[in-house]
Amino acid sequence: MEQFQVRGTATRRAPGSRRQAIIGVNASGNLEVLIERVLPDNECLVEVATAITGFRDLWEAVITEFFERSSPGGLRFSINDTGARPETVTLRLMQGLRIMEDEQ
């Protein structure tokens, strides 16, 4: 198992008023993402726990690209992973961001 964080800066606060959401299931080739609106508006963070070791560089590339594309200011993403492919990770992060846009 490997655990690490990827921090980013955001140009805007992620829209919506939802405080938290969860998407995905931690199963083989899949991951769950818990999203919480707990950070200052110009910060974002992904915490990764993955059962598969040795792919930190790839994770950082995927997450950095997500930060640049989406600027999810104020959100902390916590991931439990069992070997999801990069496009699945991007998909789940985008799904999570979309759910947080809902008004509560």
Partner 1 sequence: MSIVQPHEAHWFEASARERIAGLLDPDSFTEFLDPSQRAMSPHLAQFNLTGAFDDGLVVGSGRLKGEVVFVAAQEGRFLGGAFGEIHGGKLVGLLRAARDLASKNGPRGVLLLLDTGGVRLQEANAGELSISETIHAIIEARLAGVAVVALIGGRAGAFGGGGIVTACCSRIIVSQHARIGVSGPEVIETNKGVEEFDSKDRGLVWRITGGRTRALLGGADRYVRDRIKDFRAAAIDLMANAPPFSAATLAAEQQRLADRLQRYGECRDAPEIWRKAGIFEPDRIADISDDAFLAVPRPAGASHDAR
Residues forming the site for partner 1 (CB under 8 A)? 1, 20-22, 25-27, 30, 32, 34, 36, 49-51, 78, 80-82, 99, 102
In whole angstroms, the minimum distance from the beta carbon of 29 to partner 1 comes to 10
Helix (H) or strand (E) holding 3: strand 2-9
Contact 90, 35 (CB under 8 A): no
Contact 38, 91 (CB under 8 A): no
Contact 59, 8 (CB under 8 A): no
Q: Between residues 1 and 57, which has the closer beta carbon with respect to partner 1?
A: 1
- Three-state DSSP class for residue 100: helix
In whole angstroms, the minimum distance from the beta carbon of 11 to partner 1 comes to 26
In whole angstroms, the minimum distance from the beta carbon of 68 to partner 1 comes to 26
HSE toward the beta carbon, residue 36, CA cutoff 13 A: 9
Q: Between residues 38 and 68, which has the closer beta carbon with respect to partner 1?
A: 38
Q: Between residues 12 and 86, which has the closer beta carbon with respect to partner 1?
A: 86
